[in-house]
Amino acid sequence: MHQGLISIVADDGRIEDYTILMSLLKPHSIRANCAIVSDWVGQPGYMDISQICDLTSLGWEMLSHSKTHSAPLHTLSSDRLYDEIVVSKQALGDMGITTNNFCYPWGGRNFAAKRLISKHYNCAIRVGGGPNSFYYDRFAVNRCVMDNVDINNKERIDFCKKQILTLVDKPLWIVYMVHPAESLKSKDIANGISNLLEYIADCGIPIVTISEAIDIIAKRRTLNNLIDLRVLQARTNELVKDAIVAAIPKGSIRHIQQQIKHMTMMKRYK
């Protein structure tokens, strides 16, 4: 059974999420995540409400990617932070678009941003870093770049496959970042991503939405904690037993063993 998970997040809500990325993922029955900037919905070059709803109906998840995407969050005042984090969620909700998770614009964040996000979202995705452990920082989830996977770049393809292969044995979560408007217009990159998707399928690694990954990881952690408790209890019982045996004189132990043997034989003859 696989140990790890993969998620794909497309930034900005560009029209190419609908016209290119969906076509690329659909043959593999893959559902991705779109990070939507609320002020950009329906603007030229960006998806409109009906297109976003089409993807949602296919099981894709929408994330808030701020209200304006105008600056990294750590550079903003508290009022601006509220607009970018909270008002963006409200605006998308008014459009009928549910967002339970956040994607940092430009990747920038600080304690104030993380604290405010934690009050309104389940997790937040940053830029950079490698695979996430199952004991990850929920408001600084790492993302790996998928935009530069050119089919002709064997070194890059091999690196990604080696990283993916670790998920077979290790409980890790890889979140890939892609900008379809900038990268998927290149056939070489589109073919490179298709190659990786086939490899992921061959390895049996599930590609899930952000919310699905959060739920799966939470259940795995609960199960692991229960297993750890059982192992700890069993080990404790062994130590207690060893301590009791060590405290009893050797002659007494032999006497107890003989008594048990005698009682067992008596039961047989009754």
**Stretch (H or E) spanning 156:** helix 154-169
Q: How many domains does the chain have?
A: 2
Does 197 lie in the same domain as 246? no
Please tell me the pTM assigned to this model: 0.81
Average pLDDT over residues 27-39: 96
Judgement on whether residues 69 and 189 belong to the same structural domain of the protein: yes
| Mutual angle of helices 154-169 and 187-203, in 10-degree steps | 20
Q: Is residue 147 within 8 Å of residue 177, measured between CB atoms?
A: yes
Q: Which tens digits make up the pLDDT trace of 171-207? A: 999 999 999 888 888 999 999 999 999 999 999 999 9
171 in any annotated domain: yes
Is the pLDDT assigned to residue 102 strictly greater than 70? yes
Pair 120, 206 in one domain: yes
pLDDT digits (tens, 9 = 90+) for 4-32: 999 999 999 999 999 999 999 998 899 99
Residue 62 within any structural domain of the chain: yes
pLDDT of residue 182: 82
pLDDT at residue 228 in the model: 46
pLDDT digits (tens, 9 = 90+) for 105-123: 998 899 999 999 999 999 9
- Asked if the structure places residue 152 within a domain, the reply is yes
- Among candidate residues 166, 188, 210, the one where a domain is terminated: 210
Rounded to an integer, what distance in angstroms lies between the CA atom of residue 115 and that of residue 225? 27
Q: What is the CATH number of the domain that holds 109?
A: 3.20.20.370
Q: Note the pLDDT tens digit of each residue in 221-243.
A: 885 554 444 544 555 555 555 55
Q: Is the dihedral of CA 54, 141, 126, 87 positive or negative?
A: positive
Alpha carbon distance 157, 161 (integer Å): 6
Distance of CA 230 to the CA centre of its chain: 27
Average per-residue pLDDT for the chain: 87
The reply to whether 128 and 254 lie within a common domain is: no
Examine the domain organization and report whether 202 and 77 are in the same domain. Answer: yes
Residue 156, in any domain of the structure: yes
Q: Which domain holds residue 235?
A: 220-269
| Domain contains 215 | no
Q: Identify whether residues 194 and 232 lie together within a single domain.
A: no
Q: Are residues 242 and 200 in the same domain?
A: no
Instruction: Check pLDDT > 80 for residue 75.
Output: yes
What pLDDT sits at residue 235? 57
